[in-house]
Amino acid sequence: MRILTITRSKLFLLIAGILFLSGRVLAGDPESQAAHEADTHDTTATAEHNDEEFKAGEFIVDHVTDKYDWHLWGPHSDPVSIPLPVILYSSEAGGLSIFLSSKFHHGKEAHNGYMLKEGHIEREDGAAFYDFSITKTVTEILIASLLMLWIFISAAKAYARRPGQAPKGLQSFVEPIILFVRDDLAKASIGEKHYKRFVPFLLTAFFFIFFNNLLGLIPIFPGGANVTGNIAVTFTLAFLVLIITLFVGNKHYWGHILWMPGVPAWVKIFLLTPIEVIGVFQRPFVLMIRLFANIAAGHIVILSFVCLIFVFGSSSAAGGWGFMPVSMAFALFMNAMELLVAFLQAYVFALLTAMYIGACVEEPHHAEHH
């Protein structure tokens, strides 16, 4: 799996050499009416061009948010991209509507009463609808899922063909990580008695986050989507953790949450119990925010270094070219750091999840029980 550590998706090194071209059209012959009109037209066009300043904030937000197509190259006004399926349903406006996002022509045209406005689909008549579209994030999740299935099914078949033999190929990459999650995370945090039934979920969460983090470092298709930097994805993962902790908690766990022994009743009612109940929901919330913030921040920092080239280049071409080596050096350094973050965030999510589950299934100590 570590061979997938290719450079970062949001780096877009190709655009580093594309700087703003500045220039001004010299005035023509003032005695010639035709030349004067041409000069006026050129001056107006130049002024409009100069007003089109590079907006770093919009550039960064455009690359870290979800999209209805997969941008490959070219300007955002007329890019080369892969259209993705748009699936919309409105009971008020004709039922189900399925088409490719290319029908919007990058937000320039409406289709079937729907229009793409600032990255979001809206109804022209304002009617309510449900959006089940296969966006860039959804597509990347499907790609990561297929990649995981291929890797683990291949490794499982290799074990079946060579029982009891030393691992090789994909087995040698997968096995150490599986053993690490099983022994150092699940068994150590949950306990010898209960850890086995939670290992599949912990492995799935770990590899899902890890694979999507690594795919996010690939600058070209099929990589480049900001999956784990999407708050909806991290919310879903955290919600699953919350559901598990709510349903696997034993009597001992809920007894300490709702009515902690050895504490005066008024303290339980007005202080400890509300705090503990809030903590039950706060822990998955922290998981969601931590993963989302760390991955999104990495994308934003690298894009910020790239944007500095355009910011300096907007004043002069020499400034852009002069700052480009510095910007690229910092961006590559941050990209190398993100390789470590890709593993650390998967590790932290799985570790904290195992600790939360371990607290839910922990058996009462003998002295306390007595």
- Would you give per-residue pLDDT tens digits along the chain (370 residues)? 333 333 333 333 333 332 222 222 223 333 333 333 344 444 444 434 444 566 766 767 777 788 898 888 777 667 788 899 999 998 887 789 999 988 988 888 888 889 988 888 988 888 889 999 999 999 999 999 999 999 999 988 988 888 888 888 888 889 999 999 999 999 999 988 889 999 999 999 999 999 999 988 887 888 878 899 899 999 999 999 999 999 998 888 888 888 888 778 888 788 888 898 998 999 999 999 999 999 988 878 877 777 777 777 777 777 677 777 877 787 788 778 888 889 999 999 999 999 999 989 887 765 444 4
CA distance 175 to 146: 19
Residues 6+ apart with CB under 8 A from 46: 23, 24, 25
CA distance 202 to 186: 8
Amino acid at the residue 185: L
pLDDT of res. 239: 96
Secondary element (H or E) of residue 82: strand 80-83
Q: Which of 89, 101, 99, 98 minimizes the C-alpha distance to 136?
A: 101
Residues 6+ apart with CB under 8 A from 306: 10, 11, 12, 15, 16, 327, 331
HSE-CB of 167 using CA atoms within 13 angstroms: 16
pLDDT of res. 236: 94
pLDDT of res. 258: 86
pLDDT of res. 77: 67
Q: Which residue has the tokens 């005695």?
A: 31
Query: Quick one: residue 107, left, alpha or beta (phi over 0 = left, psi -120 to 50 = alpha)?
Result: left
pLDDT of res. 302: 78
Q: Which of 214, 221, 309 minimizes the C-alpha distance to 15?
A: 309
Global pTM value: 0.78
pLDDT of res. 53: 63
Peptide bond into 79 cis (omega under 30): no
Q: Is the Cβ–Cβ distance between 107 and 116 less than 8 Å?
A: yes
CA distance 261 to 303: 52
Q: Which of 146, 195, 158, 203 minimizes the C-alpha distance to 178?
A: 203
Q: Which residue has the tokens 């510095």?
A: 326
Alpha helices in the chain (DSSP H): 33-51, 56-64, 136-161, 170-179, 188-190, 199-215, 231-248, 251-258, 265-267, 273-315, 317-361, 366-369
CA distance 4 to 228: 17
Amino acid at the residue 19: L
pLDDT of res. 309: 77
